[in-house]
Amino acid sequence: MTTRRDFLSSTAVALAALGLPAHAWALQDGEELVPLTDYTDDFKIVANAANPTVQCYDLRTLTSWTTPNQDFYAFHQTVTPVVDPATFRLRIGGLVERPRELTLPEIVARPDRRDEAVTLECSGNSNRPTRMAGLLSNGVWTGVPLAALLKECGVKAEAREVVFLGADLEREKKWQAGNREFEAPHGRSVYVQDALNPAALLAFHLNGQPLPAKNGFPLRLILPGWYGMTQIKWLSRIEVIDRRYEGQHQVRNYLSLRAVETSEGPLWLDQSISKTNMKSLVARVTRKRAGPGWDYRISGPAWGGQVPIQRIEVQIDGGPWQPARIDDRRGQYAWLLWSLSVKDLAPGTHTVVSRAIDANGAVQPTADERRTRLASGREDNAQWAREFLVG
């Protein structure tokens, strides 16, 4: 039985391997939370325990750079399968020269295993009251490079996509077959070039511990920089194919209508959701007594985008944008933590919002700006105005 001490010890080892302190963002002595007043009774950490499973991370509790395993967000459309690690096999086949079948001990024992800090965000993460942006977490994943396994199998020249299939099943009715319901492994695909990205992992540990069942035990795909629906959990099969994979959650569910700029103006096209958009948010407001007054600290994470985030700016009550301090930037694919310190604030309700700016000067959009390029309930990276009360 794993004790809390064992968990903390193993997590510290995993973080130390990346040069990370175990508690990089804990509250200081005498520092207290100032309640955010825009949370509602609709928000629940476990919004739905069954199918589909929805477990949110309460960002008001964000006090460390990694998300504890028990708090790590989860969202899946299927029932969590029970996989016996003793009989588990990962099968790699299709358009490869040397198909393979690997046991979990064979994967774990590979000498090329490594740690990678990666933030995962569900593409359906949003600021609506039932979510409160809680489909988001950050962790240190341990696994083996996907590219190495594919190269060992010998991907054939005619291969186009790599399909990742889980042990869970999805159901779909086909009207062509008299509305019969069919079962098929839940899956996603990416182009071969993306699968061969050196950053992609087949992960078996999260923060130094075996994956929680809700997060994919015993093995899952980690594709850094992509939304969570691509990171197939309970991974059991990899199939290399020469055409488009068209599973229901790839081509009929996870789509966004996107504006593509042309010489004749924007052309709106349905496209599969894939890589993350740049985003930041205010996670909490704290204060600490400073003489007769208070020092306030506004803080949160920033992540995503295909260009490194250069800076974070914060606006209070519609005033000028102020540069925030970046407190923790650790890893290309992990969130950074930022903060802004301000002196005494007047009693009453205050509004605060953050925005991320990347190295190319692109700015996290407002909700109105986002609507000019993206028509979707998913991929919501708009600025999020928060409210808090000073008594």
**pLDDT category of residue 20 using cuts at 50, 70 and 90:** very low
**pLDDT category of residue 222 using cuts at 50, 70 and 90:** very high
Q: Is the pLDDT of residue 177 over 70?
A: no
pLDDT, residue 371, reads 94
Q: Is the pLDDT of residue 31 over 50?
A: yes
Q: What percent of the chain has pLDDT over 70?
A: 93
**pLDDT category of residue 21 using cuts at 50, 70 and 90:** very low
Main-chain phi, psi angles of 266, to 5 degrees? -70, 135
Per-residue pLDDT reduced to its tens digit, 84-93: 999 999 999 9
Per-residue pLDDT reduced to its tens digit, 371-382: 999 999 899 999
Segment 272-291 shows an average pLDDT of 95
Written as six digits, the tokens of 282 are 């205010």
Q: Which carries the bigger pLDDT value, residue 51 or residue 57? A: 57
Q: How far apart are CA 391 and CA 386, in angstroms?
A: 17
CA angle centred on 301, ends 117 and 287, rounded to 5°: 130
The amino acid sitting at 302 is A
pLDDT, residue 181, reads 79
Closest CA to 33 of 56, 55, 59: 59
Residues 6+ apart with CB under 8 A from 151: 196
- Of 22-31, 254-263, 290-299, 357-366, give the lowest mean pLDDT range: 22-31
Q: What percent of the chain has pLDDT over 90?
A: 77
Gyration radius (Cα) of the chain, Å: 22
pLDDT, residue 182, reads 79
Query: Which residue bears the tokens 């199998």?
Result: 153
Main-chain phi, psi angles of 194, to 5 degrees? -70, -35
Domains defined along the chain, listed by start: 4-16+40-257 (3.90.420.10), 279-390 (2.60.40.650)
Segment 168-187 shows an average pLDDT of 79
pLDDT, residue 116, reads 97
Residues 6+ apart with CB under 8 A from 3: none
Beta strands in 159-224 (DSSP E): 161-174, 180-191, 201-206, 209-210, 220-222
Q: Is the pLDDT of residue 17 over 70?
A: no
Segment 141-155 shows an average pLDDT of 98
Between β-strands 53-55 and 322-323, what pairing exists: parallel, antiparallel or unpaired? unpaired
Q: Enter the DSSP assignment of 134.
A: -
Q: Is the pLDDT of residue 11 over 80?
A: no
Query: Which residue bears the tokens 């103006």?
Result: 265
**pLDDT category of residue 175 using cuts at 50, 70 and 90:** low
Residues 6+ apart with CB under 8 A from 163: 94, 187, 188, 189, 238, 239, 240, 241, 245
The amino acid sitting at 153 is C
Segment 306-312 shows an average pLDDT of 96
Segment 310-338 shows an average pLDDT of 96
Closest CA to 189 of 145, 113, 242, 148: 242
Q: Is the pLDDT of residue 129 over 60?
A: yes
Q: Is the pLDDT of residue 50 over 80?
A: no
Residues 6+ apart with CB under 8 A from 24: 64, 65, 327, 328, 337
Do 103 and 250 form a contact (C-beta atoms < 8 A)? no
Written as six digits, the tokens of 311 are 């800076």
Q: How far apart are CA 122 and CA 75, in angstroms?
A: 7
Q: Enter the DSSP assignment of 307.
A: S
Q: Which carries the bigger pLDDT value, residue 47 or residue 221? A: 221
Mean of the per-residue pLDDT values of the chain: 91
Q: How far apart are CA 253 and CA 376, in angstroms?
A: 11
pLDDT, residue 15, reads 44
Residue 7: how many other CB atoms lie within 10 Å = 16
pLDDT, residue 180, reads 78
Do 59 and 283 form a contact (C-beta atoms < 8 A)? yes
Q: How far apart are CA 272 and CA 269, in angstroms?
A: 10
Its pTM surpasses 0.85: yes
Closest CA to 87 of 201, 146, 167: 167
Q: How far apart are CA 91 and CA 235, in angstroms?
A: 9
